[in-house]
Amino acid sequence: MHNKEEITKRVINVFANSFNMDESKVKISDTKKDIELWDSIGHLHLIMNIELEFEIRLSVDEINGINSVENCIKIINKSLDGN
Amino acid sequence: MKVYFLGNYTQNLVSDTFIRFAKAQNFDITVYTSGFNQYRQEIINPNSPLYRHSPDVVFLSVDLFTLTEDIIYSNAKNLSGVFEERISDFLQLLKTLDENLTGTQIFIDNFFFFRPVTMATIEYNSPFGYLQLENIANTMLTEMVAGTGNLKIVNVKSLVDQKGAENLFDERMHYLAKSHWSQKGLQDLAGLYLRYFKAYKGIRKKCVVLDLDNTLWGGIIGDDGIENIKLSNDGEGKAFYDFQRELLKLYNRGILLAINSKNTEEIVVETMEKHPYMLLKPDHFISMKINWNNKAQNMEEIADEINLGLDSLVFLDDSEFEREVIRNKFPEIYTPALPKDFSEYPNFIRNLDVFDFLSLTGDDFARNKMYKSNVQRNKLRKSTMNIEDFYYSLDMEATINKTTPFQVPRIAQMTQKTNQFNLRTQRYTESDIKRFMEDENHEVYFLSLADKFGDNGIVGTAIINIDGEAAFIDSFIFSCRALGRTAETALLNYIIDDVKSKGLKKLEGEYLPTKKNMPCKDFYKDHGFEGKGGKWGINLDDYQHKHIPWIKVFS
């Protein structure tokens, strides 16, 4: 089992780096609409950074499913537990 | 500097990575990225963003699979004919781009199929396998590029061969993002682009400073003796032979070599002269510091002797201790760790990415000889009594003339690379120079200099721009290896005579200060020009030449 709190922290850090934001500005409830640089290219940078950070490989369905910080954390946890 | 990315798949991911790498190395660049698959419109339409931004550098990346997908999956009987026609259409477009962007450096990826095909048993057993098609496309591309001035090929195919399709490509990206590169692939591709960008800017290391024991040969020469060191043309000793061969190849391309070693000089020189597999001889080294001094002190003397900035040196030593000594004292010197296993030494040199050229001129090949004679010249200077005797003792002969197509690559290279004696630091490409040559209001001059120590090749160039009765010196550039010998005066005198013979009345010039061009600050003042605020001029009718009888001038 992975430490959920620690994972949340790391996800927020990846969001901040991917979208040029301060960590304190990233909220769990943020969706694609709330983050300015989260467009289609930004999405791919985010996915690549997540895969690098957590050493996981997401499927096309998982990649397409990520549309908020909250469900991103959920999908990462699921992927980590599955390994 | 403006860089434009263009291609037939999503370029943003590559260009974003390129920007990150370039910024990390402090390059001041503005990057534009064309919309997805817009390259045809951008090239054909004269009002497209591509032309409006007038970029300095263009990276054009066209994926062969996407370009020819419909053909390779068709049942066309004449597959290779249709395929060649498609490539030929694309090359026509490339030609248009080259013609429309005369002052721009254009980089084009060579072709490769990014999807696995090599395991298929039919490859090489049928006339039109993927690999044959790939070869056809690359042959056509290479032939076409050879006839142009601004195009250079980026060898992405070798990157793919070396690092492997499984590492560099990502099918998810192909379907989700219309870009076949994986994260690792993007980084490697952007890194490769940056190498070409730096080669275009002329940024490279100029001298490799080498240790000896366990670097140029295996073992300790002072303990083991000449017969027992590892250095041979077969077996494990061949690794050191191959390592030396790679260094010799760098030498032949104009990279200088020097030695900084704790050893007894006589033993080393004897080894170099007598060992049958010692490829590097004393003559190959611009400077040899073989003694028991501290290596930092030796390094200082080497840099001083060859008159190069510390940031153009590379230091190779098997000892981490010695590398740390140099890194601490001279962080500007590039001091990478040699591989622990000497069998990796030759590949280590092959993979070093700090000696990149886009093209080699005759001067690059001859550079080693020229630097070597410079070191001898400086020694002579120390021993002669006064400066005029020194000038006479050099037996200098200058050839000065208007530029012909033969000198164009070197002249463009000088405008790009020379920083110290460069009065206005205007950077030009080969096609810019050709344009000046063809324009009746411009003249492009060159000066090549020989003396008793050797031929220096083209060391000076100037461009003037004529407007009415006045000529303006747009560029006046001298290579630092030829400074201090008054040859710059010879070039100025020639220009003055030439513009006078055209019936002009005034010659004007300007000094635009940069961080590096202090050495030429007083050039106009020293030659009797009048002026202030960086603008200088003379009336041609009253001007008296500065005499330099020690240089014989030919034209």
pLDDT in the model for residue A1: 53
pLDDT at B533 (0 to 100) = 77
Question: Could you give the CA distance from residue B64 to residue B169 in angstroms, rounded to a whole number?
Answer: 14
Q: Domain of A19: which CATH number?
A: 1.10.1200.10
Residue range B47-68: average pLDDT? 95
Q: What pLDDT was estimated at residue B373?
A: 76
Q: A72 in the Ramachandran plot: left (φ > 0), alpha (ψ -120 to 50) or beta?
A: alpha
Q: Is A41 an interface residue toward B (CB < 8 Å)? A: yes
Residue B8 burial by Cβ neighbours in a 10 Å radius (0-12, 13-18, 19+): buried
The kind and range of the H/E element at B222 are: helix B221-224
pLDDT in tens, B144-181: 998 887 899 999 999 999 999 899 999 999 998 899 99
- Interface A:B, Cβ pairs < 8 A: 24
A10 interfaces chain B, CB cutoff of 8 Å: no
Using a CB-CB cut-off of 8 Å, the residues of chain B touching A39 are none
Q: Which of B416, B424, B420 is nearest to B484 (CA)?
A: B420
* Residue B153: Cβ within 10 Å count: 18
Mean predicted confidence (pLDDT) in B473-480? 92
Q: For B173, name the nearest residue in chain A, comparing CA atoms only.
A: A44
3 state SS for chain A: CCCHHHHHHHHHHHHHHHCCCCHHHCCCCCEHHHCCCCCHHHHHHHHHHHHHHHCCCCCHHHHHHCCEHHHHHHHHHHHHHHC
Structure tokens at B358: 């886009």
B485 pLDDT above the threshold of 70: yes
Cβ-based interface (< 8 Å): residues of B facing A: 10, 12-13, 16, 172-173, 175-177, 179, 183, 186
Supply the pLDDT for residue B473. Answer: 96
Give dist(CA A73, CA A54) in Å, integer: 11
Whether residue A60 and residue B10 make contact (CB cut-off 8 A), yes or no, is: no
The helix, strand and coil proportions of chain B, stated in percent and rounded to the nearest 5, come to 45, 20, 35
The residue ranking higher by pLDDT, A76 or B375, is A76
Q: Does position B118 have pLDDT exceeding 60, yes or no?
A: no
Q: Which residues contact B304 (CB under 8 A, 6 or more apart)?
A: none
Residues of A in contact with B177 (CB under 8 A): 40-41, 44
* pLDDT winner (highest mean) among B262-276, B475-489, B514-528: B262-276
* Alpha-carbon distance B172 to nearest alpha carbon in chain A (angstroms): 6
**B303-359 pLDDT, tens digit each:** 988 888 899 999 999 999 899 999 999 999 999 999 999 999 999 999 999 999 888
Contact B176 A63 (CB under 8 A): yes
Nearest Cα residue in chain B from A49? B183
**Residues in chain A closer than 8 A to B181 (CB atoms):** none
CB distance A64–B176 less than 8 Å? yes
pLDDT (0 to 100) of residue B383: 59
pLDDT at B119: 56
Measured between beta carbons, the chain A residues lying within 8 angstroms of B175 are: 60
A-chain residue closest to B187, CA distance: A48
With an 8 Å Cβ cutoff, are B183 and A51 in contact?
yes
pLDDT tens, position by position, B267-278: 999 999 999 999
pLDDT in tens, B198-216: 999 989 999 999 999 999 9
Question: Which amino acid, one-letter code, is at B54?
Answer: S
Domain that holds residue A73: 4-82
Instruction: Compute the nearest-CA separation of B29 from chain A (Å).
Output: 19
The overall longest dimension of chain B from CA atoms, in Å, is: 84
Residue B237 — pLDDT band, cuts 50, 70, 90?
very high
pLDDT at B242 exceeding the cut of 90: yes
CA B334 to chain centre: 17
What pLDDT is attached to residue B131? 82
When pLDDT is cut at 50, 70 and 90, the band that residue B256 belongs to is very high
pLDDT for the residue numbered B192: 98
Tell me how far apart the alpha carbons of residues B441 and B506 are, in angstroms, rounded to a whole number.
15
Give the pair of three-digit tokens for residue B145: 């590029």
Per the structure, the count of domains in chain A is 1
> Phi first, then psi: what are they for B128, rounded to 5°?
-125, 55
Q: Within its chain, how far is the Cα of B49 from the centroid?
A: 29
pLDDT of A79 over the 70 cut: yes
* Residue of A45, A52, A60 lying closest to B176 (CB–CB): A60
> Is residue B428 classed as helix, strand or coil in its secondary structure?
coil
Query: How many Cα atoms are found within 13 Å in the side-chain-facing hemisphere of A53?
Result: 21
**Sequence-distant contacts of B533-537: CB under 8 A, at least 24 apart:** B534/B510, B535/B508, B535/B509, B535/B510, B536/B508, B536/B509, B536/B510, B536/B511, B537/B506, B537/B507, B537/B508, B537/B509
Tell me: pLDDT of B370 over 80.
no
Best mutation site among A14, A39, A41, A46 for testing chain B: the one with the most B CBs within 10 Å? A41
What's B479's DSSP letter? -
Please name which of B356, B320, B312 lies closest in space to residue B336, comparing C-alpha atoms: B320
> How many residues in total does chain B contain?
555
Region B231-258 average pLDDT: 94
Domains in chain B, start-ordered, CATH in brackets?
Answer: 2-200 (3.40.50.1110), 207-351 (3.40.50.1000), 362-554 (3.40.630.30)
Distance from CA of A79 to the nearest CA of B (A): 17
Q: What percentage of chain B has pLDDT greater than the value 70?
A: 97
Give the strand pairing for B396-402 and B442-451: antiparallel
Averaged pLDDT for residues A67-79: 93
In tens, the pLDDT along B414-469 reads 998 888 899 999 999 989 999 999 999 999 999 999 988 778 889 999 999 999 99
Distance CA B1, CA B121 (A): 48
